[in-house]
C-alpha cells in the first residue's frame, strides 16, 4: 500500500544558523561532527580494512599510488538517520530528494601525494537491500554542503541475486496464501523467525513445520492455534523444498519486512496458553540438552614437549556474520560516496508538497530541513519566490499551487 510522502515518520526541523549572503555557515550540522577512523597501510600489499561500523574496504596492491609505500587513510561513515543529520549530509541530487542507504568518506591524509590509480572495492552494511539503489558521488559546494551527482548502477551483488531468487520462490510457493506485511488467507510472514515457538529463532524447527505442518501441529499448541485462527485449514506441506531454497525464501521475506517496516498486530497473546507454552519450551530445551550430552568427540592425545611460540601476538578480529547484508561498489577517487535512490522511485510513497510559513522577526537566521527517518531523507528547504517567510521542500523549479502548510511561530 502506498503511503503519502509527508505522513511517513515526518519531522520538520528548524535549525538556527548564521546567514552571510548565499553562503550559510551552519555550525550545528557539518561533517566534522562525524568520528573519523584512520588506517595506516602498505600500498605494496593487498589490504582489507574493516571499520568499526562494519564496512569492508579491499585495496589491491598498487591500487593507490604515492611517493612512498606507507599511506594513512581517513574514513567516515553515516548509515543512521542520526549520523546523516548530525553531519548535515542532505539527501539531494540537484534539488531532487533522495532516499539514502548509507554514506562513506575516504581520503588520504598522509603528506605523500596519494591517489587512487586502480579500483578499490567497498562493502557497506545495511539492514536490508533495495534493488533500485545507485552510487552517487559527493560534490562539495561553496557553502560546504554536498550535492550528490553522477549516479551509476551498483555492480552485481550476490546477496541481491539470492533475494531475487527468494522472491521468485516466494511468489511460486507462498504468495497464494501469505503476504509479508498483512494478514491474508494465512498470517503475515514478516518477522516469522521471531515468532517460531516453542523456541524462538529455531530455523530447523520452522523448516520442519513447513515440510510437514500436520505432524508438528499434533504436539505444539502455537501452530495448532494459528490453524484455528485462519479457518481451520492445515497449511500445504512442502516436503521437497531444500534448506537452501527455504533460506532464500526466508531471506527475501525478512529483507522485505525490514524494508517495508509494516505496523501490524500479530496477536500472539491469543495463540497460546502461557502455562502450556512454558512446558513446551522447557521440554524442547531438555531435548536439545539431551542431544548435546550424547554427542562425543574423540580427542587424540600425544605426549611430547611443546615447541616455543614464534608467531608473536595475534591480532584480534571480529567473526564474520554470515547474515549481514552489504551494498557493494568500487571507487576510483577519494571523496564522499552515497548509496541512494530517487525518492520518486520508491513504490511505497506518493508525491506531495510541504510549504512552511515562518512568523518570526529573525527569518534570515533560519535554516529549515525536512527529515523522514523511515526513508532516510534529509532535505533542506528553499525560500519561495515573492512569498516572504515561506519555504518549500520541492525543487524550486517544480513548485505548484497545491500545498501542505505548517505554520511555525
Q: What is the mean pLDDT of each run of 10 residues along the chain (409 residues)?
A: 44 46 59 93 95 96 95 96 92 90 95 95 95 94 88 94 96 94 88 72 86 88 83 91 95 91 63 70 81 74 60 43 81 96 81 71 69 87 69 48 38
CB 233 within 8 A of CB 227: yes
Shared domain for 55 and 89, answered yes or no, is: yes
One domain for residues 248 and 264: yes
The 8 Å CB, 24+ separation contacts for 357-361 are 357/389, 357/390, 357/391, 357/405, 357/406, 357/407, 357/408, 358/389, 358/390, 358/391, 358/408, 359/389, 359/407, 359/408, 359/409, 360/389, 360/408, 360/409
Residue 223 lies in a domain: yes
The answer to whether the peptide bond before residue 187 is cis (omega within 30 degrees of 0) is no
Q: Please, what is the angle between helix 158-173 and helix 243-260, to 10°?
A: 100
pTM: 0.76
Given a contact cutoff of 8 angstroms between Cβ atoms, the answer to whether 369 and 90 are in contact is yes
Domain assignment present for residue 46? The answer is yes
Residue 312 lies in a domain: no
Nearest to 206 by CA among 172, 162, 254: 254
Q: Are 84 and 103 in contact (CB under 8 A)?
A: yes
Q: Is 142 in the same domain as 215?
A: no
Same domain, 257 and 170: yes
- Final residue of a domain: which of 234, 264, 294? 294
Do residue 21 and residue 66 come from a single domain? yes
Q: Which of 294, 310, 345 delimits the end of a domain?
A: 294
Query: Shortest CA distance to 49 belongs to which of 102, 115, 106, 112?
Result: 106
- Do 181 and 129 share a structural domain? no
Q: Are residues 184 and 275 in the same domain?
A: yes
Check whether residue 373 and residue 280 sit in a common domain.
Answer: no
R_g of the chain, CA atoms, integer Å? 27
Cα–Cα distance list, 48 to 41, 45, 61, 64 (Å): 10, 10, 10, 13
Chosen domain end from 241, 276, 294? 294
- Clarify whether residues 149 and 164 are in a common domain: no
What's the CATH number where 179 sits? 1.10.760.10
Q: Within a domain: residue 220? A: yes
Residues 252 and 290 in one domain: yes
In a shared domain, residues 141 and 186: no
In a domain, 236, yes or no: yes
Has residue 306 been placed in a domain?
no
Q: Which of these, 60, 96, 151, 88, lies nearest to 337 by C-alpha position?
A: 151
At 374 the pLDDT is 84
The pLDDT, as a whole number, for residue 256 is: 92
Q: Domain total for the chain?
A: 2
Query: Within this chain, do residues 247 and 193 fall inside the same structural domain, yes or no?
Result: yes
Domain that holds residue 283: 160-294
Amino acid at each position: 500500500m502506498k503511503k503519502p510522502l509527508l505522513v511517513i515518520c515526518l519531522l520538520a526541523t528548524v535549525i538556527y544558523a548564521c546567514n552571510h549572503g548565499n553562503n550559510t555557515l551552519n555550525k550545528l550540522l557539518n561533517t566534522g561532527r562525524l568520528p573519523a577512523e584512520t588506517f595506516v597501510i602498505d600500498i605494496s600489499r593487498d589490504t582489507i580494512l574493516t571499520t568499526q561500523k562494519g564496512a569492508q574496504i579491499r585495496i589491491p596492491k598498487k591500487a593507490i599510488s604515492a611517493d612512498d609505500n606507507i599511506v594513512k587513510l581517513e574514513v567516515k561513515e553515516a548509515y543512521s538517520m542520526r549520523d546523516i543529520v548530525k553531519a548535515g549530509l542532505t539527501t539531494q541530487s540537484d534539488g531532487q530528494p533522495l532516499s539514502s542507504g548509507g554514506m562513506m568518506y575516504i581520503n588520504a591524509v598522509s603528506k605523500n601525494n596519494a591517489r587512487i590509480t586502480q579500483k578499490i572495492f567497498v562493502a557497506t552494511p545495511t539492514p536490508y537491500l533495495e534493488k533500485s539503489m545507485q552510487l552517487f558521488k559527493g560534490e562539495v559546494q561553496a557553502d560546504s554542503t554536498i550535492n550528490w551527482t553522477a549516479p551509476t548502477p551498483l555492480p552485481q551483488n550476490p546477496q541481491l541475486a539470492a533475494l531475487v531468487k527468494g522472491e521468485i520462490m516466494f511468489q511460486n510457493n507462498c504468495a497464494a496464501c501469505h503476504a509479508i506485511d498483512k494478514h491474508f488467507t494465512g498470517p503475515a510472514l514478516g518477522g516469522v523467525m521471531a515468532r517460531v515457538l516453542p523456541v524462538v529463532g529455531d530455523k530447523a524447527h520452522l523448516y520442519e513445520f513447513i515440510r510437514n505442518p500436520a505432524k508438528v501441529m499434533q504436539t505444539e499448541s502455537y501452530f495448532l492455534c494459528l490453524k484455528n485462527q485462519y479457518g481451520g485449514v492445515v497449511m500445504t506441506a512442502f516436503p521437497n523444498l531444500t534448506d537452501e531454497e527455504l533460506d532464500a525464501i526466508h531471506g527475501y521475506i525478512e529483507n522485505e519486512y525490514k524494508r517495508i517496516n509494516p505496523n501490524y498486530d500479530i496477536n500472539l497473546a491469543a495463540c497460546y496458553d502461557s502455562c502450556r507454552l512454558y512446558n513446551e519450551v522447557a521440554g524442547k530445551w531438555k531435548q536439545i540438552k539431551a542431544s548435546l550430552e550424547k554427542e562425543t568427540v574423540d580427542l587424540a592425545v600425544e605426549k611430547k614437549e611443546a615447541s616455543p611460540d614464534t608467531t608473536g601476538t595475534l591480532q584480534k578480529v571480529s567473526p564474520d556474520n554470515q547474515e549481514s547484508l552489504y551494498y557493494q561498489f568500487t571507487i576510483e577517487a577519494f571523496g564522499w560516496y552515497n548509496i541512494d535512490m530517487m525518492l520518486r522511485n520508491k513504490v511505497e510513497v506518493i508525491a506531495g508538497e510541504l510549504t512552511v510559513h515562518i512568523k518570526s522577526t529573525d527569518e534570515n537566521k533560519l535554516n529549515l530541513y525536512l527529515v523522514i527517518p523511515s526513508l532516510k531523507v534529509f532535505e533542506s528547504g528553499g525560500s519561495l519566490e515573492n512569498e516572504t517567510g515561506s519555504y518549500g521542500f520541492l525543487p524550486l523549479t517544480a513548485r505548484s499551487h497545491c500545498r501542505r502548510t505548517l505554520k511555525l511561530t
